[in-house]
Amino acid sequence: MLDQGTEAPAMNVPPDPPPAVRAPNPPDGNAYWGMLGDPSGTPPSLHPPGLKERVRSRRTVGLLAIVLVTAAIAVVGLVRSRTSAGPLAPRSGNTALEGAVRAPGHAISIGVISFDAYDARTPVVLESVRPVSSPVGLRLLGFSVIRTDEHGGVGTVDGFPPRGFVVHPVAGYSFTGDMRTVQVIVGLEATRAGAFVIPGFALRYRIGTSEYEATYPFGAAICTRAGLASFC
């Protein structure tokens, strides 16, 4: 028993532990993005604005490029084939000029394309003929094909089509054999006084799947009276 007049010795009582510091709850949801500086608090989309439109646009541009390249290849192939005169090309230095003196309004037929020796094993199909120039005052009446082994060839004869000849349309005319028996003729007519000349004609034709265009320096002329030009 302790003496009431004597103080009890101090007891070593451990101090209270400091208060625990709690970590803040991890931000969740939209609040997190608000903390990062996005005032809207909306998380950014995994697909930035306009991404779908850009992808769609790139696909469209890619498809368009493919179409354009394909078309260019086709055009280049056609141009390359057309730039070749093919087996019916005239021999180098082979030129001619046929014509006549006729009054305006008088139609004539002139043989303008004759072929060199070529034995066509695969059918030659004629497509079209055009003049390399069209002088004012000269009317083009048309083109026809004749067979020289039927009624002979045409130099210059009156009328178009020429009387006494069997004529065939140029477009689609198909032939197999000796091409020297085929001739293309043109119908011409002066519409006023003068001297007129077409220096040559271009023929488009095909053999099988190959297409060609040959230019023939075989001219045609009409003078409405003699002496108007050196070729009259």
Are 130 and 201 contacting, i.e. CB atoms less than 8 angstroms apart?
yes
What does 101-117 look like in DSSP terms, one character per residue? E--TT--EEEEEEE--S
Average pLDDT over residues 138-164: 93
Which of the pair, 137 or 152, is modelled with greater confidence?
Answer: 137
pTM beyond 0.85: the answer is no
Average pLDDT over residues 190-207: 97
Q: How far apart are CA 176 and CA 77, in angstroms?
A: 26
Position 36 confidence tier, pLDDT thresholds 50, 70, 90: very low
Nearest to 87 by CA among 190, 208, 188: 208
Per-residue pLDDT of 73-126, as tens digits, reads 444 444 444 569 999 999 888 889 999 999 999 999 999 999 888 888 899 999
pLDDT at 25 over 60: no
| DSSP H/E element including 57 | helix 51-82
Q: Which range among 21-30, 65-74, 180-189 shows the weakest confidence by mean pLDDT?
A: 65-74
| DSSP H/E element including 170 | none
| Structural domain boundaries in the chain | 87-222
Q: Which range among 79-83, 121-125, 184-188, 208-212 shows the weakest confidence by mean pLDDT?
A: 79-83
pLDDT at 35 over 60: no
Q: How far apart are CA 205 and CA 217, in angstroms?
A: 17
Sequence letter at residue 77: G
pLDDT at 34: 46
Q: How far apart are CA 101 and CA 215, in angstroms?
A: 26
Percentage of residues in the chain having pLDDT higher than 70: 64
Q: How far apart are CA 200 and CA 220, in angstroms?
A: 7
Average pLDDT over residues 35-56: 54
Which of the pair, 211 or 229, is modelled with greater confidence?
Answer: 211
pLDDT at 182 over 70: yes
pLDDT at 180: 87
| CA distances to 22, 23, 165 from 19, in Å | 9, 13, 125
Average pLDDT over residues 44-52: 56
Q: Sign of torsion, CA 168 173 179 184? A: positive
| CA distances to 108, 168, 204 from 100, in Å | 8, 24, 27
Domain 87-222 in this protein, CATH class: mainly beta
Are 156 and 221 contacting, i.e. CB atoms less than 8 angstroms apart?
no
